[in-house]
Structure formats: C-alpha cells, structure tokens
Structure 1
Amino acid sequence: MGRVRSHTRRRPRANPRGVLSVRAGGFGFVQTAEGAFFVPESRMAGAFDGDLVELAPLPDRGFREGRVRAGGSSAAGRGSAQESPAARVVRVIDRAHDVLVGRYEVADPFGVIVPEDPRIPYDVFTMRADNPDIEDGSLVRVRIATFPSRNAAATGVVEEVLGRADETRASIDVVIARHKLETAFSEGAFAEARSAKLDAGGALAEGYRDLRERFAFTVDPADARDFDDAISLELVASEGGKASGVFAVGSHSEKASVLSDASQQPARGGGASSGMRFVEGRAPASVRWRLGVHIADVSHYVAWGSSLDVDARRRATSVYLADRVIPMLPEELSGDLCSLRPGAVRRTMTLDLYLDEAARLVAFELYPALIRSNARLTYDEAGRMLAGSDAAEALRDIRVRAVGSPEPAGLEEDVAWRLRELSRIAKARQGARERAGGLDFDTVEARVRLDAEGRPAGVDLRRKTDATALVEEAMILANETVAAHLRDAGSPGLFRIHERPAADGLAGLAEVFEEFPWFSDIDARAFVEGEAHALQQALAASAGRPEGGLVSSLLLRSMKRAVYRPECGPHYGLASAAYTHFTSPIRRYPDLVVHRMLKALIGGRPARFDEEVAALPWVAEHSSEMERVAERAARESQEMKIVEYLEGFVGQTFSAVVSGVAAYGLYVRLDNTAEGLVPLRALGEECFELDAARHRLTGQDSGTSYRLGQRLAVVLTDADARSCRLDFKLATIERKGRRP
C-alpha cells in the first residue's frame, strides 16, 4: 500500500547545504547531511566550483544531465548512484573564489576573461577602456566585482597581467595568482636586508657564546635552499657521572665537567642566558648526552615594526611550490646571512638539551651563540650511513664541507657516530611519545622532479626514514621544551594547539573501518571518542595491508587542524602538554615571534615589546590562515605538475586504490599519490547502488562491489594539467605500462 504524503508541515524544514563540486560536463554534485544531490548545469544560479551553497530539491522531471548508466542510457531506480535526487542552487552562502585567472579576449567595448579553470563556466566582463594595453590572448588575474546571476553576467577588474596564455599553460604562475601570493618585497625590506651584517665581534660583546669549535651539522632534503637548524651531540658522562673516553676522538672530545661548567658560565653583555634548568625529579648525575639544537637567529636582523618585519608578517610563511620557493624573507637573509651553511659563522639561538641514557630530558639551557656548521648532509646521505653503507662513499656526496674541516676519515668518524647515537635517541623519544598517545601517520609526500626547462621528468616519493626521524625528534623536543619554558615563566608567546578530533567524524570512519576484519579487535567506543591509543591500534593493524595507506590518510583528514594561539594548550597529535614552533624562523613567522619572546625573557624587553604582545592574537589567526593558503598552493602546484607528467602516460595501466566513493563514480589514488575519477559509466553495463555510510558501490545485477581501500587495475584515459584532472577506466586486460 502506497504511503500518503501530507502537504502540511508542522515546522519549516531547512534546505540542505554543502560544497558544490562541478564536473567537466557543467553539472555538479553537492554532498550534504541529507545525502548527495545532483545539480543540473541550468540550475547552478551562478555558483562556482567550491562554493558553499544552499539547495532546494527539484521534482524529478528529467533532470538527468550527466546521470547516465554505464551503457549510455538513462537509468531508472531511485536508489541508484546515478539517480541522486536533483536540486537547484537557491543561494551561495560562501564564495570560494573572489579572484580568477583566465585568458583575456578583446570584444569591444569589453575585455572578456575566460577562466582557466574549466569547472567555472562563467566569463567575467571588464571594460576594454579600463585596460586598453592588454593584448588579446593574455593571461590575467581578475578580481570579481559582481558574481553572475540569472539576469546578469559577472564583472570584474583586472589586477595583473601574467603573460601569454599559450605560454603559461599549466604554469605555476597561475597557482601564484590564484592564491594571491606576494612575490616582491618592499624597497624598505630590500634595503634593510642588504645592510644587514653578521658582526661576530659585536655578538660576543653582547653576550653571545662562542660555540664555533663545537661540531655541528645540518641534515636536510637534497633540494633545500635555506638551513634553519643545525644539531650537535656530545657525550657528557657515562653511567655514574664519570667521564667517558669512548668518544674522545678529534673535535668531539669533552670533559665530564661540561654540565657544571655550563651552568656557571657568566652571560656577558646583560646576561643573555636562561640559565641551566633541571627537570623536576631528574638528577644531574644521570646526564649522559648534550644535544644542541642551533636555530638561525633571525630576530637579530628582523626587529618588530621594521620593513622586513612588516613584509614577513604579512606573508607569515615561505611557500614551497613545485618549481620555486617564495621566501618569507629576502634572499640576502633567507639564503645567506641567516642560513646555517657549512663553514660560515652564524648567529643562533641555541638550546642545549641534557639527556639521560634513556633519552629523557634532564636539564636544558637556552642562549644566543655563534656557531660554524661543519657539514651539510642530505637525508639520503644520512640514511646511507645509518644503514651501514660505506660511510666514506656517502661523505664524498656531501654537498659542502666546512672550511678547515678534518680530513675525510676524521669527518667520517665525527659524523657517523653522532648519526648513530642521534638515531638511537630518536627511537627512544618516539617510543616514549607513542606510549603517551602520540600519533604517527604513514604519510607519503610526492615531489615532482623537473628538468632544466621546468618540465616534469619524474615523481619522487618521500617517506619518513630513520634519517628524517632523528632530525624531527630533536626538533619536537626543542619545541616542547621552549613551549614549557615560556608557559612556566608566564611569558607571552605563540603556541601550537591541536585539539582532539570530532567524534562525529571518527564515527563515520568507524563505519568504514568495520568493513575490515582487523577493526573488530579495536574498541569502537574508544575510537569514536578519539582516545589516542585506539587510533594507534587502527594505524598499526592496517599497516602493511592494501588499505593501510588509505586508513592513515583518512585518519589524518579526520584530525582538526593545528593552529597558533597566544595561550598555551595541548597538542593532541604529539601528546604534548605544551608545544610551539621555534625551529624554523627563516620560513615561519610564528617561530620568529617566539625567538623575540625568548630574548625578552632572558635578556630584557626591547622597545615596542608591549605593542608586539598586543598583536599576538591577530598574528596567531593570520599565521594560521596563511599556513593554510601556502599548503593549498604547494599541493596544487605539485598536483598540476604530476598531472602534466602523466599526460605522457595516457592509455597506460596502473595499480590504484579506491580513495573515495561518490554518486558519480570512484576516486582512485595511484601509488605516486595522483588522484582521479573512474566515472560511473566506466564501471559496467548495470546500475549501481550507493551505500554512503559504508562508502561502497554495488552492482544491482552482478553484485560486483567497489569500496574504499580496494585495489584496482585502471587505465588512464585523459589527463588535463590545466584543470588538474585525471580520468580513468577499469582495466579489462592486465598489462604492464611504464612506471610513472
């Protein structure tokens, strides 16, 4: 018996809302709390891809644009994926774009901008008289003045000419323009950067300690251009507090009295030292190692309110794009005077961390110093040495050696034993953090390798290794120590806060993970409540399985974003009670602020200090936002170049993992991290049912099922770098293609 629907409502029903995802055919889909809705091209109401929109359901009167069964005919059946209910856009709640990049076309009296992004099918009109010198075919950035509506076209103002459209296809310049990234410094900032001097003698007179004889080195990616941090490691004493001669070789010879000597050193020039501070409950006699973390002293050159500071504050971060770096500071500082290059004397903020045999922090001391890095290692070189490869061969690959460094044999020994001990310390620190509830995601970073002309020549995958971990753990400990120091001293600062993930997001993941047998051994209640050890169990249980990478990725996406705040709070992901960013002041503005706060704490407050403290809430919010912008731009630039690279592999077969299930098909992720769509029509000659809760598509006739984490063989059918789009179909015949 049919159900009778009442036409009266007891209370008004809110319209569904969600983010509009536009497909190449002009139609779109919106995922809402009520489910997925199909939006015909004619019912967009001027909405752009990425806009947050409000929808009104439409009667099913043939709005089937794009909703076709695999064989090409329209499908029947309300529950099928291609039969997502149709809706129209009622209004745009929040615009994703106020600036577009497009091709300028002369159509007197107008200059018409055709967006480069094919998912935005609306031209933007400007008056030709306002820009008579712009050539037809130029690539421009336009700011939208009025958005399109049913009765009017979009209008805007040209902000910048980027070049010729035919010369800048898939260009990173488009990404820079789209995200409004600043590429030029003010004249005042340039003048201040050019006039900056090291002045080692003046530094010593001000109270900087002279650590130029201490053996320090940097470990960074091979393509790193600026070096914020150097590390050193010295044996202080063996068990029982007695001096050890085991490591008394060359430049790393130390005496057992180093700890007491350090605590008694007077700080010249006003007392620029925090003094030795011991961790409660830890005995000085248990100290075994002095781990030095030496961070570029950017705050010496960039004072609050200076032209350099204003430019850096506005940018808030360096941006690392596929083919270039947009630095937060001019090259004179970021690539030279503040960069801890081998053989060069540099000012630093040094944090000495005194550790016991179990790598627990016993004491620390913070002070400005002069250092000279002895060597630069890449992660690959450090990894080869840790793996037991020929150390001498690895050292021949070291990019630069310090002036007056030891002979290769001496340098080998100086570096090799430190790397081994730092790795052992890192593993101990990792274990302690894991026991405290810290999360370690199995992430893979894809970096496109470019040739001399900027064309993609390959994709390199970067994973966490023992070499990256030894640096990462040293920096985490330094950041935790500085944060606790600022907190305990009642000092102003910027802290890194990471909140517990939302239970509703984890509940959705639990429904997905229940499809995997290993999840039955995990406490689902604890998982949904965000208990860190339950999440650790999910990561460990899925590791090494076909779905392992996806599980790690989905859990990472469920995390809330870490943000900057002027108040101290916990960091959920690292299981830290206090955390800050101290270790990268060349490329992150919050780190520069933290350095200034530390200097004020240990050396006295400078002029305008209260002004900077008053600005901390705004600086925290702005830095958090600019971090998001930089990450989006960096990711987009890499995706653009990966797709450009894959344009040469159309027709090839790849192994992929299902990374998303939607009403219109499957998203699949290649091993090189590139992601694209297998449209519904490519799945076979039948209708498919979508189980949104379990992220599964099931064929109504065959029962064939596709779910998250499933590995498939797919064929690349189309690659468009301009729109960063990859299209696939299922491979019917297993065949090998070139590896991308």
Structure 2
Amino acid sequence: MDYKQAITETLKTTKKGLDRTTLQSRLRIEDQTAFTAFMKDLNALEAAWIIYHEPSDRYILAEYAGLIKGVLKLNAKGFGFVENETQSIYVNQNHIHDALQDDTVMARMWQNFDESQECEIIHVLEHAVTTIVGTVKMNERGTYFLPDVYMHDRKIKITNYEDFKLVNDSKVLVHIDSYSNVLKASILKVLGHKYDPGIDILSVLLAHNIEPEFPKAVMDEVQKIPDRVMEADFKGRRDLRDQIIITIDGADSRDLDDAVSVEKIKDGYRLGVHIADVSYYVCEGSAVNAEAFERATSVYVVDRVVPMLPHSLSNGICSLNPKVDRLTISCIMDINKSGEVFNYEIFPSVIRTTERMTYRDVNGILAGDEKLVKKYSHILPLCMNMEILSKGIRKRRHQLGAIDFDTREAKILVNEKGKPTDVVVMERGEAERIIEDFMIAANECVARHVKWLDTPSIYRVHEEPDAKKIRDFAQIAAVMGHPFKGKAQSVYPKQIQEFLEEAKDSEDYPVLSTYMLRSMQKARYDASCLGHFGLGLQEYTHFTSPIRRYPDLIVHRMLRKYCFDHESDAVRMRRDEEWIIDAAIHCSKQERVAIETERDVDDMKKAEYMEQFIGKCYDGVISSVMRFGMFVELDNTVEGLIHISNMTDDYYEYDEVGRALIARRSKKRYVMGQKVRVKVLDASRFKKQVDFILMERGKSHEKNGKTVSGTASGRNAGRMSKQGKGYREKGSDTKNGRKKTGQRRKR
C-alpha cells in the first residue's frame, strides 16, 4: 500500500507535527508488512523535503515548518534571495553556507521584528553549477585557477593540473567534484589559449552548459536518416508541389523551417503556412530526440549557432531548401478582409519551394525595385497579395490590443577571427513584418485547433503583468511627463498599446518602451492555454519553428498522434499530458539559459568593440538611474555605467520617487531619457563591461582617473553611431521570434 498521501493528509491536520508513534497509530498500522511500507514512504517524503523531521522527533509538513523550496539568486555584494513562483526571500551571506548561484535549495524562513522576511539555507537539493570555465594562471608562486564567473569568494582547488600540458592563460573547462567549503574540481579539457580566436565565445557557451558538439550516439543515428525525400514518404500527405510557395529569410540563414503561399479567393485570401515536418525524422525514443529535448532550443551567438538538431537535419533534410521535395505540416487559412480566419485546414503535406527569397529582396520588390521586379516576375502577384493580406491581419491584431514595443535590435559584425568590426542596428522592413504576421496567424490557428479538440499540447503563454511593476512603471512615466492612464490591478493590452502609440514621436519613447517591456511577465511554455497578453490573443502556441525550438516539435508530434493518426488511447493521452507539464518547465528554463548566453556574448563583443574607442566622446541617453550611478546608452546600443563616485562636480543623492540623481548644491537632475555627453573611460571584453564619465562644458566628471565598473548590457536598442555620427544599416534577419544573427525577438 502507498502511504504517502495518507501521511501528508494526516499531517495537514496539525501545524505542530506528530511523532512517528502517533502518526502510525492514526493510520492504524499494526502488522509488520504495513509498518515496513509506512516507514519506506515516510523516509521517501522526508528525502523529498515534503515533510520535515524536527530535532524533537516530530514529523511536520515542510511548509508548516517554515521551509521553502526555491532557486538561490546571489548578489555581487554577497547576499541573495531564494526565489520560487510565489515569493522571493532575502538570505544574508552568513546564511548561504555552501550553496551556489542558481542552486535549488531548501531554506528555513522567519519574520523579523519589522515584519520583513529572511531565510537560511539548510540543504542544497540540486547544484546548478557542475562545470566552470576559467583561466589557468602560472607565475613564480605557482599555478592557480581563475573562474570566468564570480564565485562569491569560494576557493577552487584543481586536483589534476599534471594531467594536461598547460601554459599561462590556458582556458579550461573543469568539473566540480566536491561542494565543500573549498570546491574541489578537475580539468575536463583544455579549450585553447585565452587569446585564440573563438575561445571567448566557446567559453561563454560552456559556462552556460551549452555544448556545441553532439554525442557520438546522436551522430551515428543521424547517419541513418536519408538525405532526400523518398516517394514512400508521400503516403498520407497532400501533394502541394505544383503550388507557388516561397521561403523568406535572412541572407545568411541556413535552417529554413517555414514557407508561405497566398492566393486570392472569393471572400479574401488563402494563406498557406508550411512548416518543416521535423517530427517525421525525429522520433520518440531516439537518441536525436533525447538530445534535442535536453537542448530545447538553438542558441545564436554573433557569428555562430549551436543548433538543437545536427546540421544534417537542421540545414539538410528538414530545411525547406529551394526547389527540392520536402515534408511539411501545412496550416491553410481562409482569411477575410478584416484579417479574421473563417476556415482552415491542418494536414501533412509535401512541397517544393519555388524560390528561396531574402527579406532584402522581398522588401526591394515591394518598394518597386525594377531589377528585382523583373527577376522575380513569376512571384510578383504572390508578393503583392502577401502585402495586402498581412495588413488585414495586422489591423485585426491591433484592434485586439497587440503591443508593438518596437525595440530596435543590434547586430554585431565580426571578421574571420571573431573580432568585432561594427555594431549596427537592424531595421524591420515590410517583408519581416509580413512573415511575422503570417507566423503569428498560424500559431494562433493551431493553438485554437488543439485547444478545442482538447488534445495534449504545449502552449506559448504570456500572462498579465504584475500590478507592482505596472505601478512602478506608471511612476517612472509620470516623472518623464507621460502619465499612464491604466489601472495597475487590471491593465489591458489595449491600454499599453495606446500609451506607447501616444509616446511614439517622443524622444523618451525608447526608454519608455524598454521599461514597459521590462514590466511585462516573461513569456513561457505551459500545458494549459492561458493566452498571450502581449499579442492580445486568447490562444497561442509555437508551431512554426520545429528545427530550432523543441516546443514546436511537441506541437507537431501531438498533431500527428491525435489529429492525423486519430489515436484515442486514454492512458497514452494522460501520460502525454503529464509529460508535457514537465517538458514546458524544462523548455522555458532552457530558453532563459539561451537568452542569458546570447546576452553575455553580446555584452562581451560590444565591450570588445568599444575597447578601441577609449577616450572618445559620444552622445547618449540615460537608460536607467540607480543609487550607485546611471547607465547611459549610446546610439550603437552599447550601454555603460557612470558610477556616482565619478560625478565629482557636486554631491549627488538618489531620489527614489523620481528615479533621479539630484545634486545637493546646484539641484541639477539626471533622469531617464535625458541626453548626455559621455567619454569612454574604460572597456573590457573579459569583464563584459564599459564605463563612462560625464562630459560637460569641456570638463569631465572624473575622480583621480579611477572608475567603478558597469555592465555593457546592450539590451536596449538604438541607432548605430560611428564616432558620434549616425549610421544605419537596412535589412533585418529577425523573423517571428527567429534570430539568425544578432538578437532574437521573443513572442
């Protein structure tokens, strides 16, 4: 008999807990067999920290004992927070003990006299950091290891230096073997020399546990997958090879996972969104599938991609390459002039794309470029129909309250050695918007389809923003002269949309848009259809990129099982539903890891780019104000810190209400959105940071030539500046959340 539920239900009846004898008596456990099963389940619940065995020998539910489970987030100053879905509890550095950043921990919580809450970590359930990337340093005093990330003063002892041929500044990957007060670790492999081309990005990838290479078992399995479509593969598929279907991507894209077709019909237009049928090749139970699940997403960093699937799949048989047969899942939608879908079909298909188009060329066709119009005359009607249809779809979404934050995205250009040569801003042209409109329409249609069929699936959800964050934003906006009219407790997408549109022509718009975006919840995956606040949609999923996102592959697989093959096994369906709950959590987590990795690489490369401009002066905009100083964003999206210790013309105090730094004597104010002139004081690719000082009336606010470092986050968009002069590059490689190079848009 399973006593776990009975034990927990009994312990729910008392917040003081019960000793083992009393608990045994209440459950009426009398014979030896029942006692053995009871003790096994009691110990299992204790091991899982669902119940807590107090020193007084009483068992109590963990929550009644003041215990919380969460993830440890550490601050550079030493303290941290234990965070879970419902709370974030402060933990003093003396109460962190042996836990590390992002560890899953159990902590004991208490309330202070001022009603604030604190906790102490009592057990590490799971260590997040198992490997560390760092540099081996050698000098007359010996050999030591410097980790790339700050380890909060934890000492690291390497136990196997002698097993490798090392030189000073060798970059290595080490594995943590023991998590005692002094971390004991062993070198797994030597990555190269600190200054070798590409080692910097490889180090960041491995620091986030992103492995560029695939296991041998995966590569062996991939070799058995055909590199071309066979006629036997057409069974059960609708043949669309005679239709005009095109792909539209960035010029350097290789994983082409979506294609589109549009034709005029009586009541509007027929839109076809044809997505690579990755689920046909990546099957449950295979090594390829297991590895794809673990990765969950492709990672795009400046000059390379770490794919979710091996290149022979992502760039080969799964990619919708031009003028060859490819297996797809098609979503065909009949859409009226108001942008509403009034009829649709979703089915397996086979296509042969007519052309492999780029955003640049389609934008040129739509702009009337004579050479391009002549070259692509055979798809000109398709392009014209696409433009008309997308405007109707966009208008409908606008009426529903879809929010367009219009954040500009940077692209870092590098040479063959990986050295950054420029930072440019990518613009979204009409072609980019068209594809985004079509992909969102397909994602909504598929989500609605599986929701109303009530089949297992995964959804892309974006919940309502937290009321406190909206209140904070409203306060910031009011200080900047842009009052927000919505109510924090019940804000609607339409209110945010209208606010941003009113501020569109203001110089403050980039800052307002960025801060509003930061006030939103993070989009994530879920087994339930909870809607997408930012898009103003009740149903939404990710269906359109199965080559680079595992959730899309899940959607395809569930469509195949329950819609195409019409499986009706209740046990299997329930098993899939339970598995998807865990898969959604895993995929959301891996997505966040990918985003953090991409940002770290961008920060590093932007800082490296700015190293050549130390001493140069630029115009920038204050993007945020903190107690310790303010961040200034240049036109090239690089962000650097002006530390308050370097603002020496006066004594500055932080005004929390106004989010401003105010000079005590002169009353000079520095607020978000304000234009300032700065000089690049320092930049370091290794620290991933850029530091500025203010320039005013020919003088700099610098103190003894010293600086306190800040992060070159580059996470807010702007226009490119080359030594103070505006420079813009046309064209964009973003596509419905796809990032080919540079940043990637998240829906």
TM-score normalised per structure 2: 0.75
For residue 162 of structure 1, the aligned residue among 173, 187, 191 is 191
Partner Cα separation in structure 2 for residue 153 and residue 96 of structure 1? 17
Q: Tell me, yes or no, if the aligned pair for 1:144 and 1:156 is still in contact at 8 Å.
A: yes
1:555 alignment partner AA:
M
**1:574-631 CA deviation, whole Å, 9 max, x = no partner?**
1111111110000011111111111123332579965555421121111111111111
1:113 alignment partner AA:
F
Alignment partner of 1:704 is 2:646: no
For residue 202 of structure 1, the aligned residue among 232, 243, 249 is 232
Partner Cα separation in structure 1 for residue 666 and residue 301 of structure 2? 46
Aligned to 1:222: 251
2:684 alignment partner AA:
D
Structure-2 change in CA distance of 1:376 and 1:707 (3 Å): same
Aligned to 1:171: 200
For residue 421 of structure 1, the aligned residue among 371, 377, 385 is 385
For residue 523 of structure 1, the aligned residue among 485, 489, 495 is 485
Partner Cα separation in structure 1 for residue 660 and residue 480 of structure 2? 13
Equivalent runs, 1:131-142 vs 2, <5 Å: 131=163, 133-142=165-174
Q: Tell me, yes or no, if the aligned pair for 1:126 and 1:158 is still in contact at 8 Å.
A: yes
Partner Cα separation in structure 1 for residue 561 and residue 405 of structure 2? 36
Partner Cα separation in structure 1 for residue 198 and residue 417 of structure 2? 14
Equivalent runs, 1:115-514 vs 2, <5 Å: 115-117=147-149, 123-128=155-160, 131=163, 133-144=165-176, 153-167=182-196, 171-197=200-226, 198-204=228-234, 206-237=235-266, 286=267, 288-388=268-368, 390-392=369-371, 394=372, 409=374, 412-514=376-478
Aligned to 2:723: 737
**More RCO (CA 8 Å, sep 6+):** 1
Equivalent runs, 1:720-735 vs 2, <5 Å: 720-732=684-696
Q: Tell me, yes or no, if the aligned pair for 2:229 and 2:326 is still in contact at 8 Å.
A: no
**1:376-427 CA deviation, whole Å, 9 max, x = no partner?**
2222222222233x142x46xxxxxxxxxxxxx4x52333332233222222
SS at match of 2:192: strand
SS at match of 1:638: helix
Partner Cα separation in structure 2 for residue 462 and residue 345 of structure 1? 33
Structure-2 change in CA distance of 1:691 and 1:636 (3 Å): same
Larger mean Cα displacement after TM superposition, 582-591 or 558-567: 558-567
Alignment coverage as a number of residue pairs: 616
Partner Cα separation in structure 2 for residue 29 and residue 707 of structure 1? 28
SS at match of 1:545: coil
Partner Cα separation in structure 1 for residue 321 and residue 561 of structure 2? 27
SS at match of 1:479: helix
Partner Cα separation in structure 2 for residue 614 and residue 187 of structure 1? 30
TM-score normalised per structure 1: 0.76
Structure-2 change in CA distance of 1:429 and 1:146 (3 Å): same
Partner Cα separation in structure 1 for residue 188 and residue 194 of structure 2? 16
Aligned to 1:554: 515
1:682 alignment partner AA:
N
Q: CA deviation at 1:21?
A: 4.8
Q: Tell me, yes or no, if the aligned pair for 1:494 and 1:566 is still in contact at 8 Å.
A: yes
Q: Tell me, yes or no, if the aligned pair for 1:44 and 1:89 is still in contact at 8 Å.
A: no
Larger mean Cα displacement after TM superposition, 537-546 or 605-614: 605-614
Aligned to 2:738: none
Q: CA deviation at 1:518?
A: 3.1
For residue 586 of structure 1, the aligned residue among 526, 544, 547 is 547
SS at match of 2:551: helix
**1:264-297 CA deviation, whole Å, 9 max, x = no partner?**
xxxxxxxxxxxxxxxxxxxxxx3x2111101001
Q: CA deviation at 1:49?
A: 8.6
Partner Cα separation in structure 2 for residue 494 and residue 119 of structure 1? 36
Q: Tell me, yes or no, if the aligned pair for 2:630 and 2:643 is still in contact at 8 Å.
A: yes
Structure-2 change in CA distance of 1:556 and 1:129 (3 Å): closer
SS at match of 1:518: coil
Q: Tell me, yes or no, if the aligned pair for 2:456 and 2:577 is still in contact at 8 Å.
A: yes
Q: Tell me, yes or no, if the aligned pair for 1:665 and 1:679 is still in contact at 8 Å.
A: yes
Q: Tell me, yes or no, if the aligned pair for 1:302 and 1:309 is still in contact at 8 Å.
A: yes
Partner Cα separation in structure 2 for residue 654 and residue 48 of structure 1? 39
Q: Tell me, yes or no, if the aligned pair for 1:570 and 1:578 is still in contact at 8 Å.
A: yes
Structure-2 change in CA distance of 1:138 and 1:367 (3 Å): same
Partner Cα separation in structure 2 for residue 556 and residue 164 of structure 1? 39
Structure-2 change in CA distance of 1:683 and 1:89 (3 Å): farther
SS at match of 1:731: strand
Q: Tell me, yes or no, if the aligned pair for 1:496 and 1:581 is still in contact at 8 Å.
A: yes
2:485 alignment partner AA:
D
Partner Cα separation in structure 1 for residue 243 and residue 165 of structure 2? 60
Q: Tell me, yes or no, if the aligned pair for 1:112 and 1:123 is still in contact at 8 Å.
A: no
Aligned to 2:504: 543
1:673 alignment partner AA:
T
Aligned to 2:493: 532
Q: Tell me, yes or no, if the aligned pair for 2:95 and 2:121 is still in contact at 8 Å.
A: no
**1:341-381 CA deviation, whole Å, 9 max, x = no partner?**
11121111111111123332111111111111111222222
For residue 580 of structure 2, the aligned residue among 578, 592, 616 is 616
Q: Tell me, yes or no, if the aligned pair for 2:480 and 2:673 is still in contact at 8 Å.
A: no
Alignment partner of 1:574 is 2:535: yes
Aligned to 1:637: 601
SS at match of 1:626: helix
Q: Tell me, yes or no, if the aligned pair for 2:447 and 2:459 is still in contact at 8 Å.
A: yes
1:715 alignment partner AA:
K
Partner Cα separation in structure 2 for residue 187 and residue 236 of structure 1? 51
Structure-2 change in CA distance of 1:219 and 1:601 (3 Å): same
Partner Cα separation in structure 2 for residue 93 and residue 709 of structure 1? 45
* RMSD between superposed Cα atoms in Å: 3.7
SS at match of 2:223: helix
Which 5+ residue runs of structure 2 have no aligned equivalent? 1-70, 84-89, 108-117, 700-721, 728-747
Q: CA deviation at 1:173?
A: 0.9
Partner Cα separation in structure 2 for residue 508 and residue 449 of structure 1? 36
Partner Cα separation in structure 1 for residue 671 and residue 492 of structure 2? 26
